Amino acid sequence: MQVFARAQSSYHRLSTLLQQNPIRTFTTSRINRAVQGGSLSVQPPEKKRIGAFRGGLVGFLLGLSIAGGSGYYYLLDEYHTASNLLLSSVEELQKSTSKVHDYAQKIERVEDELKALQESAATTDQVKELRSEVRKLYDGLDQQNLELKAVVWNLEQDIHSLLNGNQKNS
């Protein structure tokens, strides 16, 4: 409202100036001048009225453009959000896939080590056979030890009897 009041007051000042000084001024505004009886009068330019149909059509097109622009902006924002979510889920999937791949490689290594251990490990039957062989060896060693002890005892007895016989003769 203040702008309209200022425009009206400046219009009145201009018209009074032109009535007092009939000098032609160079302006860019359109001023209709009519000389009536030697007086200079200023008339405001006629405003072209916009018809109801044309105004409705312009309003509709303006509303349609604003609604379309805001819809496009919303759709673009949703697209960016969805694409960012998709990228983050793809990155998480890559990380989990690499973890699964690492675990699979570890499992394969453990399986290979297990096969190697199974091939080199002895079975329970083999352990039982080995025990019986070790027992036989110990029994054989014990017999030989006993035989050696018997031989040594006999030698001691012979040496003792020889020494006792020599002591009686001397």
Q: Residue 37: its pLDDT value, please?
A: 46
The mean of the pLDDT values for the chain is 82
Q: pLDDT at residue 23 above 60?
A: no
- pTM (2 decimals)? 0.40
CA distance 146 to 155: 14
- Between 21 and 141, name the one with better pLDDT: 141
List Cα–Cα distances, 46 to 8, 15, 32, 42, in angstroms.
Answer: 15, 16, 10, 12
- Our CA angle for 29, 30, 32, nearest 5°, is 140
- In this prediction, what percent of the chain has a pLDDT beyond 90? 51
Q: Residue 54: its pLDDT value, please?
A: 79
Q: Residue 12: its pLDDT value, please?
A: 64
- In a 13 Å sphere around the CA of 89, the CA atoms on its Cβ side amount to 6
User: For 144-166, what is each residue's pLDDT tens digit?
Assistant: 999 999 999 999 998 988 888 77
Q: Residue 51: its pLDDT value, please?
A: 74
User: For 69-90, what is each residue's pLDDT tens digit?
Assistant: 999 999 999 999 999 999 999 9
Mean per-residue pLDDT, 118-142: 90
Structure tokens at 60: 């509709």
> With contact defined as beta carbons under 8 Å apart, do 18 and 27 qualify?
no
User: For 35-62, what is each residue's pLDDT tens digit?
Assistant: 444 455 556 667 777 677 778 888 999 9
- Between 72 and 20, name the one with better pLDDT: 72
Instruction: Name the H helices within the chain.
Output: 2-20, 52-120, 124-169
What one-letter code names the amino acid at 37?
G
Mean per-residue pLDDT, 1-12: 63
